[in-house]
Amino acid sequence: MVVESKLEALLSGASVLWLASTCPDGTPHVVPCWFVWDGDELTVLTRADAQKVRNVRCQPRVMVAIGSPGPMFGVELLQGTAVLEETVCRDLVERFERKYAEQMPLAAFDLDSFRGRFTAGIRITPSRLLDWGAREVARRDAASLGSRGLEAVSRGAFGVGTPGPG
């Protein structure tokens, strides 16, 4: 499927995702995170006392936004279920260190400070893809067909789901 290969490339190459979770009082919480992708799950390393950790403990349903926002809305949205890892294995930490070796000094981390600060993990298993980028392209293409084309997008034609806002 084209969307799946596009998403795989995006997840394999992107350096930041935006993780949306829900605070215990129902307030939305959205933060940028470094992550690794293993082909099945996204994993974020975090401080054990971070708000997102408290959120996942109370409500494991999350949403992830990944991509480059711009005129074409090249952002993919993933719904998923998060599982908290109270401790993380050395292999996972090493994967982060390899992926973010150049960014760590820019964020004022050396390997020891990174390992000492980010001691918990959040594993996210995607359950639904909301292909925002494809939806916007389909809308633009449908708009060129007039009102019948826009109605087709609303019904889920053009291979995309229900339309997003605006």
Q: Are 76 and 7 in contact (CB under 8 A)?
A: yes
Identify the structural domains of the chain with CATH numbers, from first to last.
2-130 (2.30.110.10), 132-166 (no CATH)
Q: Maximum CA pair distance of the chain?
A: 59
Q: Would the pLDDT of 140 be above 60? A: no
- What pTM value is reported for the model? 0.76
User: pLDDT at position 2, please?
Assistant: 44
pLDDT digits (tens, 9 = 90+) for 65-94: 998 777 667 788 999 999 999 999 999 999
pLDDT digits (tens, 9 = 90+) for 4-43: 777 788 888 889 999 999 999 999 999 999 999 998 999 9
- Residue 52: pLDDT band (50, 70, 90) is very high
List Cβ neighbours of 84 (8 Å cut-off, separation of 6 or more).
53, 56, 57, 120, 121, 122
**Arithmetic mean of pLDDT over the chain:** 80
22: exposed, middle or buried (C-beta count within 10 Å: 0-12, 13-18, 19+)?
middle
User: pLDDT at position 78, please?
Assistant: 93
User: pLDDT at position 157, please?
Assistant: 40
